[in-house]
Amino acid sequence: MTPFKLTDELIAEINLLIAENNAGALLDMMSDLHYADIAEIVHELDDVEAVYLIKLLDSETTSDVLAELDEDVRETILRKLSAKEIADELLELDTDDAADIIGELPKERVSEIISQIEDREHARDIVDLLRYDEGTAGSLMAKELVKVNENWSVLTCVKEMRAQAENVRRVHSIYVVDDEDKLKGRLSLKDLLTTSTRTAIKDVYIPKVDYVSVNDEAEEVEKIMSKYDLEAIPVIDELGRLVGRITIDDIVDFIKDEAEKDYQLAAGITQDVEADDSIWELTKARLPWLLIGMLGGLGAASIIGGFQDVLTQYQALVLFIPLIQATAGNVGVQSSAIVVQGLANDTIKGELWGRLLKEGLLGLVNGLAIALIVLLISHFAFGTTYFESATICVALVSVVIIAALIGTFIPIFLDKRGIDPAVATGPFITTSNDVFGILIYFLIAKMILGF
């Protein structure tokens, strides 16, 4: 398959066709494209062009394109559509996508749009989904699913399913409920293919079924679905009633978003920014972390200021400030990254003390390796005295060990307090280790060089 490729030429051609008001040629071009590709194109158009193109497409395509767009682009477009137009688009979408789109709009607008949705059941389902907090299973689920009553015969079941399947894009499992709508089990489509139609549902359904609760955390849902290789999972409410299902494509998006967020946090970037965002957006996401680093740098400056006497007498020590600082920062980031990942994967078990001991040992090994090399180089290349070399090496080993301990302790501590440990990687750890590293360096210098 030749994947769709967005080129400057293609965009130029579309710009031209829009300028010429050549609806026919545009529709021709779009009819060959997947809605995800059209969404990519819309991202490259200006507001007026985007609305022109969106209004040109048939309602089903438009709704799918809208669901794919980035929030900010979608907001601009929705502002130019009437409540009735938006209501018609929502009708074409699955309830989860519809709820995501409408959830971003101002409250009065939402009521206006909801009141215009023709299919009242669909409208009720969307309103129902708006109740759930972001980051819960309820906020990820869709109301579309295929369910059958355990008291039905397979024949009734197949008939009912055919009707229900019309509203469901993809049938994963057929869920079995009792008369009170409580989830009892599932029927697999494969079983359906290979089972005689005369069998009774009660006798064929699989009573073992994985499920999550509306209030479970999205992260928990992701872990269950990945671990057990599920493509869909039913969601029950507080009373055990089947209220929705979450499909793997939503989980794929969730995993990718979370991975991006963690990666950015580790690099000292808050908010979900992209390279193409405005300088103002990027500054908001980056400057706060730089200011943390600045405070650390000023802290280090005061520490060095406090040890002027050492520096005046042993000027060679100045040379190795960057080495101490860089090593402390690097070790801290390594330790914290491993712990943050371990916490995310639930592979951090056992006691805190055992883990700290192990990190300490690891620090000792790495610290000694580095110190040995630095010992030789500092002595022969920089002509430091024995005492100065000793200071640098003892400081290096200590700094590596302490940086490893800090990098291990802080994420675990935050996690226990219910704070996302991912914030404690990157600049945060680097900065605290910079300051501690330099303090340790000069304290050891004072001890060894005898003040």
Determine the interface stretch with its own copies among 50-58, 115-123, 128-136, 320-328 (rule: CB under 8 A): 320-328
Residue 165 touching its own copies (CB under 8 A) = yes
Residue 253 touching its own copies (CB under 8 A) = yes
Provide the minimum distance between the beta carbon of 125 and its own copies in the complex, in angstroms, as a whole number: 20
SS3 assignment, position 265? helix
Residue 394 touching its own copies (CB under 8 A) = no
Q: How many CB atoms within 10 Å of residue 318?
A: 11
Which residue, among 264, 295, 262, has the nearest Cα to 277 in the 3D structure? Answer: 264
- β-strand partners of 199: none
Q: Which is nearer to its own copies, 60 or 118 (CB)?
A: 60
Residue 95 touching its own copies (CB under 8 A) = no
Residue 337 touching its own copies (CB under 8 A) = yes
8 Å CB contact between 363 and 398:
no
Residue 207 touching its own copies (CB under 8 A) = no
Determine the interface stretch with its own copies among 107-115, 148-156, 197-205, 356-364 (rule: CB under 8 A): 356-364
Q: Which is nearer to its own copies, 180 or 275 (CB)?
A: 275
Determine the interface stretch with its own copies among 50-58, 88-96, 100-108, 164-172 (rule: CB under 8 A): 164-172
- β-strand partners of 217: 136
Residue 239 touching its own copies (CB under 8 A) = no
Give the one residue of 51, 83, 102, 348 binding its own copies; rule: CB under 8 A: 348
Q: Can you list the pairs that 53-62 forms with residues at least 24 positions away whose Cβ atoms lie under 8 Å?
A: 53/14, 53/18, 53/26, 54/81, 56/23, 56/26, 56/27, 56/30, 57/27, 57/30, 59/88, 59/89, 59/91, 59/92, 60/92, 61/30, 61/35, 62/89, 62/92
Determine the interface stretch with its own copies among 20-28, 110-118, 127-135, 358-366 (rule: CB under 8 A): 358-366
Total residues found in the chain within this entry = 451
Half-sphere exposure of 48 (CA within 13 A, CB side): 4
Provide the minimum distance between the beta carbon of 79 and its own copies in the complex, in angstroms, as a whole number: 24
Give the one residue of 268, 395, 405, 445 binding its own copies; rule: CB under 8 A: 268
Which residue, among 97, 54, 57, has the nearest Cα to 79 in the 3D structure? Answer: 54
Residue 160 touching its own copies (CB under 8 A) = no
Contacts of 141 (CB under 8 A, 6+ apart): 96, 129, 214, 235, 243, 244, 245, 246
Handedness of CA 429, 432, 438, 444 (dihedral sign): negative
- Touching its own copies, residues 33-52 (CB under 8 A): 34, 36
Residue 231 touching its own copies (CB under 8 A) = yes
Residue 369 touching its own copies (CB under 8 A) = yes
Which residue, among 396, 420, 400, has the nearest Cα to 410 in the 3D structure? Answer: 420
- Touching its own copies, residues 277-316 (CB under 8 A): 279, 282-283, 286-287, 289-291, 293-294, 296-298, 300-302, 304-305, 308, 311-312, 315
Residue 16 touching its own copies (CB under 8 A) = no
